[in-house]
Amino acid sequence: MQEGWTGSVRPGERIGPYTVLAEPASGGMGRVCLARSRGGRTVAVKTLLTSDDGIVAPEDRRRFAREAALAQRVQGPFTAGIVAADAEARVPWIATEYIPAPSLRDLVVSQGPLPAEAPPWIAAGTAEALVGIHAAGLVHRDVKPSNIPGNEIQISGDFTRNEADALVEELGG
């Protein structure tokens, strides 16, 4: 990474031990990059945005370090686990498991309205993820379609419907 780095990366550059493949998303507080470890594991790496001179505000760094520590407590089949993090890096980063799927938002934008069987399945998976987050004593503050992976939506007749019904019943629905 270059001197004065502000968190923007190009393919081939490194963040910690990861080589950047693409930068698919950016938001008000940070960027998310698709990256790969030396061993070939694909991860999503979240970095904080910095000022133009490459500085991370101390309050932002503390909040990011706390987020990394808290997120490591969350486990479950519908959450992306933390692989590694470095809140002390010049530009702090968190690497999570990569979910190779579009977000629910992108899925609906690209495919149009989903079949009637899909909403119960999506709701059940999202609810199970939130149960895991809450079991760790946390609250997710940004639940929205762009943060929900669409890869668990396997539209295949009764199997999907039955699987969703079972999950909803498990969750007390």
Domain ranges in the chain?
A: 14-97, 104-170
Class of domain 14-97: alpha beta
**Residue 149 has what DSSP assignment?**
B
What is the per-residue pLDDT for 70?
Answer: 86
Measured distance CA(33)–CA(31) in Å, rounded: 7
Quick: pLDDT tens for 110-147: 989 989 988 898 899 889 888 888 888 888 877 888 88
Task: Say if CB 165 and CB 120 are below 8 A apart.
Answer: yes
Q: Which residues are identified as catalytic? A: 142
This prediction's pTM: 0.74
Task: Say if CB 4 and CB 51 are below 8 A apart.
Answer: no
Where does 74-156 show beta strands of DSSP type E? 82-86, 93-97
* 95 has pLDDT over 90: yes
Average pLDDT over every residue of 9-36: 85
**What percent of the chain has a predicted confidence (pLDDT) above 70?**
78
Grade residue 1 by pLDDT with cuts at 50, 70 and 90: very low
Which stretches of 72-117 are DSSP H helices?
A: 104-111
